[in-house]
Chains A and B, each alone.
Chain A
């Protein structure tokens, strides 16, 4: 495998990173909204978001990407592959992060909200200044765990024709007929992205366990 092929893989890697970052950031924003709606105490909102989460947790990510990519085209919304997989992964991430954060918001003791209410703090400040800082800390290990899943999940974007790392590997492998070498390198690149995150997540989990002894 020559230099050009390796550069081609690195370009794929760049798109994998870009897709992960976009899906994670947009997924965080949408996921926060989902988590807040899910814990709002407003029955209708809670039901709708519970359904939203159930749909995305109960179906394969690949199918979700297909629905966004082909389904939206069918109803006349044209998107290129990059936009479609970004939207698909963002929706997917928002449901998972929304559920992770719902759990952590509920894990913050009720007395915290009560004390904040008794101090005349409004909903916005109760969440921003009291509940979320504690909930985010609780959720960090699970959030990082999900980010790792998301990075690996971007490989499914290859199936709708988006050239990220996995598809770049596929293309090179078909050109030079060295699948073991090519996919070995692809695997190492994924591993180098995910493993430090996993270690960091485990570290945070230990730190958190120690501080709540």
Chain B
């Protein structure tokens, strides 16, 4: 890529991954991954178990180090020094399959911790921000409770609010509804849909194909650590190009 092209990318793209390779020891988990995500774009990432979906999104906030290629977030090159890593992490929120709320802190304290410690916000400002966002995920009455006192769906909505308290430019979701009882999936998906409608840039690893149809601008299909195919959802579901995609869709849609 020429210098000019990199600059152009940096200005209108929120995330660019260029030729990213990632190894766990001798095992190559990502092969030459190229993805560009524009500001406000919603991406759904899917693929069979072990295909590298989690690895890919965890590279974007450097929970995993990558060894090859480059990743830019909001124009910043994600290097391997803690300074650039922290700068990127302040812009990128993440929601995990297992919620990962801090069990020794109340819901409100969960939401206030990072804005105070990582952004240097005052306590009062952080609390106001936290209460606003808890309101937005419709859980403000639970602010003084501990995570263990909430249902799975409520915990995941708190986790979303906690990430939003950092005012991120990008949100990453790693199978946010997979650990939930079926009756709680909808409340979390609704929260994500509302967030998408407000224009958040999102990458979601999920097998909720209804969500993909409704929200995604593009669906990316991965297998064996590489991107196999990407297309807008209508095209992706009606006319998949690759045999592996067809097989995967057959399995996943057959199951639902």
Partners in one complex: yes
In which size bucket is the chain B interface?
Answer: 20 to 34
Report which residue of B93, B98, B104 has the largest number of chain A beta carbons within 10 angstroms of its beta carbon: B104
> In the complex, are the beta carbons of A111 and B89 less than 8 A apart?
no
> In the complex, are the beta carbons of A122 and B118 less than 8 A apart?
yes
Within 8 A of B (CB), among A118-156: 118-122, 125, 129-130, 133-134, 137
**For the complex, is B100 an interface residue (Cβ under 8 Å from A)?**
yes
> In the complex, are the beta carbons of A121 and B118 less than 8 A apart?
yes
A 147-173 to B, binary, CB cutoff 8 A, 1 in contact else 0: 000000000000000000000000000
In the complex, chain B residues whose CB is within 8 Å of the CB of A134: 103-104
CB distance from A122 to the nearest CB of B (A): 7
> In the complex, are the beta carbons of A121 and B104 less than 8 A apart?
no
Kindly state the separation between the CA atoms of A111 and B147 in the bound complex, as whole angstroms: 15
Closest to B115 in A: A119
**For the complex, is A112 an interface residue (Cβ under 8 Å from B)?**
yes
Closest to A123 in B: B82
> In the complex, are the beta carbons of A114 and B118 less than 8 A apart?
no
**For the complex, is A117 an interface residue (Cβ under 8 Å from B)?**
yes
Report which residue of A112, A118, A129, A137 has the largest number of chain B beta carbons within 10 angstroms of its beta carbon: A118
Kindly state the separation between the CA atoms of A39 and B86 in the bound complex, as whole angstroms: 21
Report which residue of A120, A122, A137 has the largest number of chain B beta carbons within 10 angstroms of its beta carbon: A120
**For the complex, is B63 an interface residue (Cβ under 8 Å from A)?**
yes
**For the complex, is B211 an interface residue (Cβ under 8 Å from A)?**
no
Within 8 A of A (CB), among B98-155: 98, 100-104, 113-114, 117-119
Instruction: Spell out A's residues near B (CB within 8 Å).
Output: 109, 111-112, 114-122, 125, 129-130, 133-134, 137
8 more CB-based (< 8 A) A-B contacts, given A121-B114, A125-B113, A134-B103:
A111-B96, A112-B102, A115-B101, A118-B63, A118-B92, A118-B96, A120-B114, A122-B117
